A and B are shown apart, each in its own frame.
Chain A
Amino acid sequence: MKIKSTFVHLANSVLPVLLAFLIGGIIIAMLGENPLDTYGILLSKSLLTSKGFLTTLHYASPLILTGLAIAITFKANIFNMGVEGQMLLGAFFSGIIGAYLPAGMNSVLAKIVCLTVGVLCGAISAMLPAVLKAYFKVNEMVVTLMLNYAIIKILEFLSTGVFRDITAGYVCTPTIQKNAMFSRLGSSRITAFFFIAVAAFAVMYFVMNKSKLGYETTAIGKNPEFAEATGMKVHKKILMLMAISGALSGLAGAGYMMSEKFKFTLDFSGNPGLGWDGMLIALLGAHSPVGILIAAVFYAALKTGADNINLYSMVPKEIVAVIQGLIILFLSIKFLSENSVTGPKIRSLFAKLTNRKAGRENK
Chain B
Amino acid sequence: MSIIQTVDLTKKFGDFTANDAINLSVDKQEIKCIVGENGAGKTTLMNMLYGLLRPTSGKILIRDQETVINSPVQAIANGLGMVHQHFKLVHSLTVYENIMLGTEIKKSKNSVFVDNKKEIKVVRELIDKYKFDLNPLDKIEDISVGSRQRVEILKMLYRDVDILILDEPTAVLTPQEVDDLFVNLRELRGQGKTIIVITHKLREVMELSDSVTVIKQGKVVGNVLTKDTSEAELAQMMVGRDVMLTVKNEQNGPVSGATAYQAENICTINDYGKEVLHNISFSVKKGEILGIAGVEGNGQSELVKVLTGIMKTTKGKLTIDGKDITDKWPDELRRNGIGIIPEDRYAQGLCADMSLSDNCIAGYHSNPQVCSKAGFMKRKKINELRDKFVKNFDIRVGSIDGSVGQLSGGNAQKVIIAREFESNSKLLIACQPTRGVDIGSIEFIHKQILAYRDRGNAVILISSELSEIMSLSTRIAVMYKGEIVGEVNPKETNTTAIGLLMAGIKN
A residues neighboring B (CB under 8 Å): 1-2, 206, 210-216, 218-219, 222-223, 225-233
Q: Main secondary structure on chain A at its contact with chain B?
A: helix
| Cα–Cα, bound, A240→B310 (Å) | 21
Q: Looking at the complex, which one of A211, A214, A215, A223 makes contact with B347 (CB distance below 8 Å)? A: A223
Q: B362 in the interface, Cβ–Cβ < 8 Å? A: yes
A6 to chain B, nearest CB (A): 13
Instruction: Look across to chain B and name the residue whose beta carbon is closest to the beta carbon of A214.
Output: B377
Q: Are B379 and A226 in contact (CB under 8 A)?
A: no
B431 to chain A, nearest CB (A): 11
**Stretch of B86-94, B131-139, B182-190, B327-335 that contacts chain A:** B327-335
Instruction: Look across to chain B and name the residue whose beta carbon is closest to the beta carbon of A216.
Output: B365
A204 to chain B, nearest CB (A): 13
**Stretch of B348-356, B478-486, B493-501 that contacts chain A:** B348-356
Q: How large is the interface on B (under 10, 10 to 19, 20 to 34, 35 or more residues)?
A: 20 to 34
**A-contact 0/1 string along B342-370, CB 8 Å cutoff:** 10000111111110001000110110000
Other A-B pairs beyond A211-B376, A229-B348, 18, CB < 8 Å? A206-B376, A210-B376, A213-B375, A215-B358, A215-B365, A216-B365, A219-B351, A219-B354, A223-B347, A223-B352, A225-B348, A226-B351, A228-B348, A229-B347, A230-B331, A230-B362, A232-B331, A233-B329
**A-contact 0/1 string along B237-274, CB 8 Å cutoff:** 00000000000000000000000000000000000000
Q: Looking at the complex, which one of B362, B365, B371 makes contact with A226 (CB distance below 8 Å)? A: B362
| 11 residue pairs A–B, Cβ–Cβ below 8 Å | A1-B399, A1-B402, A212-B365, A215-B377, A218-B354, A219-B351, A223-B347, A223-B354, A229-B348, A230-B362, A233-B329
A153 to chain B, nearest CB (A): 31
Task: Given A1-B401, A212-B371, A215-B358, check contact A231 B351 (CB 8 Å).
Answer: no
Q: Are A212 and B347 in contact (CB under 8 A)?
A: no
A8 to chain B, nearest CB (A): 14
Task: Given A212-B365, A215-B358, A226-B362, check contact A231 B330 (CB 8 Å).
Answer: yes
| Cα–Cα, bound, A226→B351 (Å) | 6
Q: B308 in the interface, Cβ–Cβ < 8 Å? A: yes
A52 to chain B, nearest CB (A): 38
State which residues 363-407 of B face A: CB under 8 Å.
363, 365-366, 371, 375-377, 379, 399, 401-402
Instruction: Look across to chain A and name the residue whose beta carbon is closest to the beta carbon of B348.
Output: A229
Q: Are B401 and A229 in contact (CB under 8 A)?
A: no
| Cα–Cα, bound, A223→B349 (Å) | 10
B303 to chain A, nearest CB (A): 15
Q: Are B331 and A231 in contact (CB under 8 A)?
A: yes
Q: Are A223 and B375 in contact (CB under 8 A)?
A: no
Cβ contacts under 8 Å, B376 to chain A: 206, 210-212
A270 to chain B, nearest CB (A): 36
Cβ contacts under 8 Å, B333 to chain A: 231
| Cα–Cα, bound, A232→B362 (Å) | 9
Task: Given A211-B376, A231-B363, check contact A226 B358 (CB 8 Å).
Answer: no
Q: Are B377 and A226 in contact (CB under 8 A)?
A: no
Q: Looking at the complex, which one of B308, B353, B366, B399 makes contact with A222 (CB distance below 8 Å)? A: B353
A274 to chain B, nearest CB (A): 29
A200 to chain B, nearest CB (A): 17
B169 to chain A, nearest CB (A): 26
Cβ contacts under 8 Å, B331 to chain A: 230-233
Q: Looking at the complex, which one of A212, A218, A225 makes contact with B366 (CB distance below 8 Å)? A: A212
Q: Which 3 A-B pairs have the closest CB atoms?
A: A231-B331, A229-B348, A230-B363
B200 to chain A, nearest CB (A): 23
| Cα–Cα, bound, A290→B251 (Å) | 56
Q: Are B401 and A2 in contact (CB under 8 A)?
A: yes
Task: Given A228-B310, A228-B330, A233-B329, check contact A222 B379 (CB 8 Å).
Answer: no
Q: Are A225 and B354 in contact (CB under 8 A)?
A: no
A198 to chain B, nearest CB (A): 20
Instruction: Look across to chain B and name the residue whose beta carbon is closest to the beta carbon of A228.
Output: B310
Cβ contacts under 8 Å, A216 to chain B: 365
Q: Looking at the complex, which one of B308, B362, B401 makes contact with A219 (CB distance below 8 Å)? A: B362
Q: Are B377 and A211 in contact (CB under 8 A)?
A: yes
Instruction: Look across to chain B and name the residue whose beta carbon is closest to the beta carbon of A233.
Output: B329
Cβ contacts under 8 Å, A230 to chain B: 330-331, 348, 362-363, 365
Instruction: Look across to chain B and name the residue whose beta carbon is closest to the beta carbon of A2.
Output: B401
Cβ contacts under 8 Å, B332 to chain A: 231
Instruction: Look across to chain B and name the residue whose beta carbon is closest to the beta carbon of A225.
Output: B347
Cβ contacts under 8 Å, A228 to chain B: 310, 330, 348
Cβ contacts under 8 Å, B377 to chain A: 210-212, 214-215
Instruction: Look across to chain B and name the residue whose beta carbon is closest to the beta carbon of A213.
Output: B375
Q: Are A226 and B310 in contact (CB under 8 A)?
A: no
